[in-house]
Structure 1
């Protein structure tokens, strides 16, 4: 991803976004690729390379708090409906022509969902990688969702989010930086299950365990990923988790009309069968309940499905785009 293709774009909230943008050439479709935690626009390098060679346009922002984008320290500014509005502003500022397809991974999937809920008319289709579509939640607090998940799945799933929202989380991560990245880049199910209980991730990091780099990443890629996150700071990206644990997103979601919960455009869900947090069966069932034109592909992969199975994911996304006439 060439640095010359990045632009600074200001939103109506007065926030500066760093955006990687390549115009569509032989295709009339532009993909809006939305990354998750802990990453940046670099997350999408394999998809950018694949689809731009085929003539698709790409818009790949560093989301709020990441990379070259502004890093406010007010958690309320990170509500995903507000970030979704920022993405629409970015598209408008870039004066993109043709059809748009929003595709998210991890937290980016939630932003893609809010684009569908609030701005469905602006997009031709939506994609969700690893984390499937999550309809607006206006009834259950974070604590209630935690308790419900534990009853259903027999274990805590989001204790790591509690740690990320704590005031000293950034400092703790910096002290155990290699252990933090080893854990998240490999995303081995047995290891991930150690960090999902309340207090689990903090205890895990204190031991400074070392995990070999997964085969789907080169040492150079891992170092770029780690260094970018270190260079731009940790506090702001962690605010995404405060929107969850402080029920900020819940309050923002209450403004979405219920008739907007269902997605009527084509949608793609890449199901990572070995993800120990984003439980595949749950997200597949929810996606099928709320999306009328859903395509599901399942991969023997962990959280980073678009890295680990990049050739298959790219091929299946292309087939879906072509079959949906996008």
Structure 2
């Protein structure tokens, strides 16, 4: 990723984002890649090279709290509606006016969901990896969400959000730094089950275990992401979790009109079949009622599907988006025929 392709963009909320941007060639659409925890735009290194080589435009911001972007500690600034508006502001500032397709992974998928709710007409289509579209639910508390998903899957999937939301979590992680990162990226099934449950990190971190990383993720791959965390800590990124474990997320969801829950544009969902937290079956069940134009591709991969199966993911997204791009070209040049 060429450092010269980054620029600093100030949004209407007076927040400064560090943004990777390469302009589209010809009538190719622009893909807007939105990363999740605990990383940065570097998450998308394999996609950025592939799609810029194909002539696509690419926008990949370090999202709020990460990388070279501002890291405020006011939790309310991390509500999905605000960050979604920041993304639209970024596109306006850098001159991306049409044929943009946001693609999210992990928490980036939450922002893509909110872009679909609040700014659907602004985009040609929407993409999700590992974590699928989530329709607003202003009546479901975090506690009830954890309980309901545990009832369906026989274990807690999102209990760890409570630990990440604790005020002393950044200090605890710093104390057990290596064990935290090893546990987060190792994907050993029993470790994942433990960490996903309420109290899992509290029980796991003091053991200071070293867990081997998977073959597709050599230690050097994590360094550009972790170096950003080293310098600034996790206090800002953990605000993403504080939003959803508090009433802020429900209040934010209540602002979405019910008629905006449905996505009336093409949607791509890349399911990570070996993801033991963002379990694909959850999204198989919840997405179809709200997404009539849904394309699903399944990958035998962990949560980091865009790394582990990068060639397949890139080719499948290219095939899906390519059709949309050809349609856009036809519309643009129809007046000359």
With structure 1 as the length reference, what TM-score do the two structures score?
A: 0.97
Check conservation: 2:29, 2:325, Cα contact below 8 A.
Answer: no
- After superposition, residues 101-112 of structure 1 pair within 5 angstroms as 101-112=101-112
Q: How far apart are the structure 2 equivalents of 1:14 and 1:212?
A: 42
| Alpha-carbon shift at residue 287 of structure 1 (Å) | 1.5
Match of 1:2 in 2: 2
SS of the aligned residue for 1:9 comes to strand
Counterpart check, 1:143 vs 2:130 = no
Match of 1:324 in 2: 324
Match of 1:71 in 2: 71
SS of the aligned residue for 2:287 comes to helix
Q: How far apart are the structure 2 equivalents of 1:279 and 1:213?
A: 21
> Which region of structure 1 is more displaced relative to structure 2, 119-128 or 167-176?
167-176
Match of 1:211 in 2: 211
| Alpha-carbon shift at residue 97 of structure 1 (Å) | 4.0
- After superposition, residues 192-271 of structure 1 pair within 5 angstroms as 192-271=192-271
If you compute each CA radius of gyration, which structure gives the higher value, 1 or 2?
2
- After superposition, residues 130-169 of structure 1 pair within 5 angstroms as 130-169=130-169
CA, structure 1 residues 278+299, in 2 after alignment: closer, same or farther (shift >3 Å)? same
CA, structure 1 residues 256+3, in 2 after alignment: closer, same or farther (shift >3 Å)? same
| Alpha-carbon shift at residue 240 of structure 1 (Å) | 0.3
- After superposition, residues 83-94 of structure 1 pair within 5 angstroms as 83-94=83-94
Q: Which runs of 5+ in 2 are unaligned?
A: 327-337
| Alpha-carbon shift at residue 188 of structure 1 (Å) | 2.8
Match of 1:57 in 2: 57
Check conservation: 2:264, 2:293, Cα contact below 8 A.
Answer: yes
Check conservation: 1:262, 1:291, Cα contact below 8 A.
Answer: yes
> Which region of structure 1 is more displaced relative to structure 2, 128-137 or 89-98?
89-98
CA, structure 1 residues 100+118, in 2 after alignment: closer, same or farther (shift >3 Å)? same
Match of 2:177 in 1: 177
SS of the aligned residue for 2:20 comes to strand
Check conservation: 2:35, 2:44, Cα contact below 8 A.
Answer: yes
SS of the aligned residue for 2:151 comes to helix
Q: How far apart are the structure 2 equivalents of 1:229 and 1:189?
A: 25
Check conservation: 1:68, 1:232, Cα contact below 8 A.
Answer: no
Match of 2:11 in 1: 11
SS of the aligned residue for 2:315 comes to helix
What whole-Å deviation, never above 9, does each CA across 1:260-304 have from its counterpart, x for those lacking one? 000010010010011111111111221212101110000111100
What whole-Å deviation, never above 9, does each CA across 1:217-246 have from its counterpart, x for those lacking one? 233212222222212321000000000111
| Alpha-carbon shift at residue 27 of structure 1 (Å) | 4.1
SS of the aligned residue for 1:230 comes to helix
SS of the aligned residue for 2:209 comes to coil
Number of equivalent positions:
326
With structure 2 as the length reference, what TM-score do the two structures score?
A: 0.94
